[in-house]
Amino acid sequence: MKRFLTLAAAFMALGVAHADDTLKKIKDSGSVTMGTRESSGALAYTLGDGKYAGFHYDVCGNVLADVQKQLGMAKLDIKYQPVTSQNRIPLVQNGTVDIECGSTTNNATRQKDVAFAVTTYVEEVRIAVKASSGINSVADLTGKTVATTTGTTSVQTLRKHKRAEGVQFAELFGKDHADSFLLLESGRADAFVMDGQILAGNISKAKTPAAYKIVGETLSVEPIAIMIRKDDPAFKKAVDDSIKAQIKNGTIAKLYDKWFMQPIPPANTVVGLPLSAATKTAWESPNDKPMEEYAVK
């Protein structure tokens, strides 16, 4: 009887390993590939020359250190793969990227393809405009051109917002957030709809930050999380445990303060986005609920 149970457990383990066992892959290869973003505001961005930084980048670094510790590896080679809004999910799926630490919204559609760790940051989609534009709400967007970044959910969010019913506006897509902000800066777009922290980060890095402001209603509340492959419970557990520990011991709060409230490289500007109540709540009871379960206030 005991032998039979062992055998069954062995089969089950085999099955899991066969599906996608990132921990085994990391241990076997001695390396891990972290997907990160080149311009996702203070969450993840590049410093140039293959170097990356940001809140999520740091959280991920801590997670991988915990994984290395868990696997008892003396040395872990961390490779960095810059990803885009388009290719981040395929790259996680095809195994190129093992853990993506950018600014990916955890939503129900994506959960069909990939898995998310517990939410580390709650984003609120807002509208950034030039301070002189006179735009103060969604309703003011009538007849305006709205910029957003290709591959993001922001436009859908705006379209779906009940205040936007009957509001006609043109859309312009930036290749990335920097490009989108450039559309706003150059005047080709009247507004830039995006995650609040990305907008804040871009404004802080602008030549004259005072010329921009974030206005209007919160269009949606989106949980941002670290993305991993689907159907890999062992790896997910390792990542989740690490994040929970970081929440518990205050590491994550410190990192937030570092990236959102203090001057950050390369220009030593301050994003100035205090910890939101939503993010705080997410930390208080760690979970991987998709965006659909967050109600727009």
Partner 1 sequence: MDAAATGARRRSWRRFLLRSAVVVAVVLATIAGAWTTFLLSERQGIAAQRRESAHKLDLFASAAEAMVKRLEHVPPTVQLNPEVQRLLHDPTSPRRVKSVNEYLRHLNAYLGSLSVYIMNDRGIVLASSNSDQPDDGLVGEDLSFRPYFLEALSGRVGRHFAIGINGNQPGYFVSHPIHDGAHVVGVAAIKISLEPINQLWETLGAPALLADTNQVVILSSHPKWRYTSLVEQPLERRVDLQLTRMYNNRRTPRFPIAVTLSVDDDSQVVETMLRPTGSALFRSGDDGTLVLGRTINGMDWRLMIFSDLRAVRNQALLSSGAAVLVAVMLVLIGLFFAQRRRIARQQRLAKALLERANAELEKNVAERTRDLTNANRRLRDEVAERVIAEHNLRATQDELVQAAKMATLGQIATGITHELTQPLGAIRTLSGNAVEFMRRGELEEVPGNLSIIARLADQMGSIIQPLKRFARKSRLAPAPADVAHAVANALFLYHLRLREEAVTVVNRCVPGEAIAWCDPNRLEQVLTNLIGNAIDAMVDAPVKVLTLEAMAHDAAGPEGQSQVRIDVVDTGCGFGEGTAAQLFEPFYTTKGSGSGLGLGLTISRDIVREFRGELFAVAQPGGGARFTVTLPGDRTPVPAGAGVRIAEEEST
Residue 155 has φ and ψ, to the nearest 5°, of: -65, -40
Q: Which stretch binds partner 1 (CB under 8 A): 2-10, 81-89, 179-187, 213-221?
A: 81-89
| Closer of 42 and 227 to partner 1 (Cβ) | 227
Under the criterion CB under 8 A, does residue 80 sit at the interface with partner 1? no
Name the minimum Å distance from CB 118 to partner 1: 25
Residues 82-111 that bind partner 1 (CB under 8 A): 84, 86-87, 89-91, 93-96
* 155 is a contact residue toward partner 1 (CB under 8 A): yes
Minimum CB distance to partner 1, residue 257 (Å): 33
CB of 62 to partner 1, least distance (A): 26
Q: Taking CA 195 as the corner, what is the angle to CA 193 and CA 197, rounded to the nearest 5 degrees?
A: 125
CA pair distance 118, 59, nearest whole angstrom: 12
> By rule CB under 8 A, what string of x and - marks binding of each residue 165-204 to partner 1?
------x-x-x-----------------------------
The Cα–Cα gap between 7 and 5 comes to 5
Closest CA to 122 of 47, 197, 10, 15: 197
Q: DSSP readout, 145-206?
A: EEEEETT-SHHHHHHH-GGGTT---EEEEESSHHHHHHHHHTTS-SEEEEEHHHHHHHHHHS
| Angle value at C-alpha 269, between 83 and 212, nearest 5 degrees | 85
Between 246 and 290, whose beta carbon lies closer to partner 1?
290
Four-CA torsion 76, 81, 84, 90, nearest 10 degrees:
-70
Give Cα 257 to chain centroid, integer Å.
Answer: 17
Closer residue to partner 1 in complex, CB, 3/18: 18
β-pairing, 145-149 vs 170-174, is parallel
Query: CB-wise, 62 or 87, nearer to partner 1?
Result: 87
Site membership for partner 1, residue 79 (CB under 8 A): no
Say how far apart CA 141 and CA 135 lie, in whole Å.
Answer: 7
Q: Give me the least distance between CB of 213 and partner 1, in Å please.
A: 26
The nearer residue to partner 1, 160 or 280, going by C-beta atoms, is 160
When binding is defined by CB under 8 A, the residue of 51, 69, 160, 237 that contacts partner 1 is 160
Interface residues toward partner 1, by CB under 8 A:
84, 86-87, 89-91, 93-96, 113, 150-151, 155-156, 159-160, 171, 173, 175
